[in-house]
Amino acid sequence: MTDQNDILFERARAVIPGGVNSPVRAFKAVGGTPRFIKRAQGAYFWDANDKRYIDYIGSWGPMILGHGHPAVVEAVQKAVLEGFSYGAPTEREIELAEAILALVPSMDMVRLVSSGTEAAMSALRLARGATGRKSIIKFEGCYHGHADALLVKAGSGLATFGNPTSAGVPPEVVQHTVVLEYNNLQQLEEAFALHGNDLACLMIEAIAGNMNFVRATPEFAKRCRELCTQHGALLIFDEVMTGFRVGLHGAQGVLGVKPDLTVLGKVIGGGMPLAAFGGPRAIMEQLAPLGPVYQAGTLSGNPVATACGLATLKEISKPGFYEALGQKTRTLVDGLKAAAAAEGQPFNADSEGGMFGFFLMNDLPQNYATVMTTDNAQFNALFHGLLERGVYIAPALYEAGFVSAAHTDEDIAATIEAARDIFRKR
């Protein structure tokens, strides 16, 4: 065995389940050996064989500035010299909270945590604690981290609650979770008619990034807001992926819909473990130590992570940042569409800000079931074709893609050319 990735994968599998610390990294969906990353800079990373890839996952979203942005590196280096973790409050936490609140007007207060899973789980508990209700609505294909109550697939009908999607989640734990089809207005109306009075919240990725890239239609997002208000349930936008990624004000800014609670992660940490959830003062003050809803964390508001997040927010707040990023991402998406069309391949794609998705079908899908009709073999061939040509996209067809400010016009053109070559040979 001479391939360094193969050697590392074998070693990893002996000591880490599946050889990875997060399942999608294992390439199980697409086959082959995961690339073990040695280093990254700008729009690129290099694997264990020193092969360079144009990186379109950007750590699954956080690396919006590209890898190793000098201002971020400097802020982190400075913070590290002052200590890694104190388990006590710092001024920098206040600065980051203030910076986040200035950009997300639906939030009066925010609590910092360490991962998107933790933030979503805590927002859910807060919604239940604040409303005194149990039931929740989520949508098939929306992922909100791996808290037990949210690892659920649809039950047999609207009147029934969901079924666990993971072993180790007792059915009793998901018995209050209703799972609906994304963008299905009729199901939404029926579910509120049936469960509205016991609903603590409706949680949604308003631009979903875990069934590739699927937008809630404006009517659907608006109706979610109206029905929550009407029934006294909280509307929670999970913006772990979309926050500061699709625009400076997230999916809520794009859609013009104001949620009650917002869940953030990824970009706010700039690549360090940092996430957050926030909303109106009256709800947030239900959290311990002020209120009865418990939530805590040793590494919450970590001084190095907050330095990284603050430096990142500063860069992305500069005038014109999202216009340039959005244009770059559109160039990629339009170029891929044109290349596929020229070779007569069924293909469609969409993007917002620095987030995109493409589909091996003619129409943009509206829900998870349609995304999953994608021909696996064709997606896998495209994935491996790109990988071979030095372009790294997510190793699963149900994941979104990410462009960073560091991607150059040449990177985008090279990516389109690589895809065209694969389409041509199909």
Q: Which residues bind ligand HOZ (CB under 6 A)?
A: 22, 24-25, 60, 210, 399
Please, what's the b/e burial string for 35-70 (b: 16 or more CB within 10 A of its CB; e: otherwise)? bbbeebebbbbbbbeebebbbbbbbbbbbbbbbebe
Are 136 and 191 in contact, with CB atoms under 8 Å apart? no
328 annotated active-site:
no
CB 206 within 8 A of CB 171: no
* Least gap, CB of 396 to ligand HOZ (angstroms): 8
Q: Which is nearer to ligand HOZ, 187 or 210 (CB)?
A: 210
Q: How far is the CB of 54 from ligand HOZ (least distance, A)?
A: 18
Least separation in angstroms between residue 283's CB and ligand HOZ is 26
Q: Are 68 and 77 in contact (CB under 8 A)?
A: no
> Looking at beta carbons only, is 122 or 210 nearer to ligand HOZ?
210
The Cα 223–Cα 257 span in angstroms is 10
Task: Write the single-letter amino acid at 43.
Answer: A
Q: Which residue has the tokens 């005194």?
A: 132
Token pair of 112, please? 């910092």
Catalytic member of 44, 55, 182, 238: 238
* Nearest approach, Cβ of residue 23 and ligand HOZ (Å): 7
Closest approach, Cβ 398 to ligand HOZ, in A, equals 8
In the bound state with ligand HOZ, the residue whose beta carbon lies nearer, of 24 and 173, is: 24
Q: How far is the CB of 241 from ligand HOZ (least distance, A)?
A: 7
Of 143, 182, 322, 368, catalytic:
143
Amino acid identity for residue 366 in this structure: Q
Which entry of 138, 266, 328, 337 is annotated as an active-site residue? 266
Tell me whether residue 64 or residue 418 sits nearer to ligand HOZ (CB atom).
64
| 24 versus 369: smaller Cβ distance to ligand HOZ | 24
From the CB of 399, what's the least distance to ligand HOZ, in Å?
A: 6
Orientation of helix 409-425 relative to helix 321-342, angle to 10°:
20
Active site residue 294: no
Q: Is 368 a catalytic residue?
A: no
CA atoms within 13 A on the CB side of 230: 11
| Rounded Cα distance, 413 and 335, in Å | 8
Q: Which of 61, 335 has the CB closer to ligand HOZ?
A: 61
Beta strands in 8-57, from DSSP E residues, in sequence order: 37-41, 44-47, 52-55
Give min distance, CB of 187 to ligand HOZ, in A: 24
User: What b/e string do you get for 325-343 counting C-beta neighbours within 10 Å, with b at 16 or more?
Assistant: bbebbbbbbebbbebbeeb
What one-letter code names the amino acid at 187? Q
For ligand HOZ, the nearest residue by Cβ is 22
Determine which helix (DSSP H) or strand (DSSP E) holds 131, and give its type and residue range: helix 116-131
Q: Is 200 helix (H, G, I), strand (E, B) or coil?
A: strand
Task: Name the 3-class secondary structure at 411.
Answer: helix
Q: Which is nearer to ligand HOZ, 58 or 335 (CB)?
A: 58
Q: Give dist(CA 214, CA 206) in Å, integer.
A: 9
Burial class (CB in 10 A: 0-12, 13-18, 19+), 163: middle
The answer to whether 354 touches 404, Cβ cutoff 8 Å, is yes
Smallest Cα–Cα separation from 220: which of 370, 371, 366? Answer: 366
Within 144-246, residue ranges assigned H as helices are 185-195, 218-231
Question: In this complex, which beta carbon is closest to ligand HOZ, that of residue 116 or of residue 365?
Answer: 116
Catalytic residue annotation: 143, 238, 266
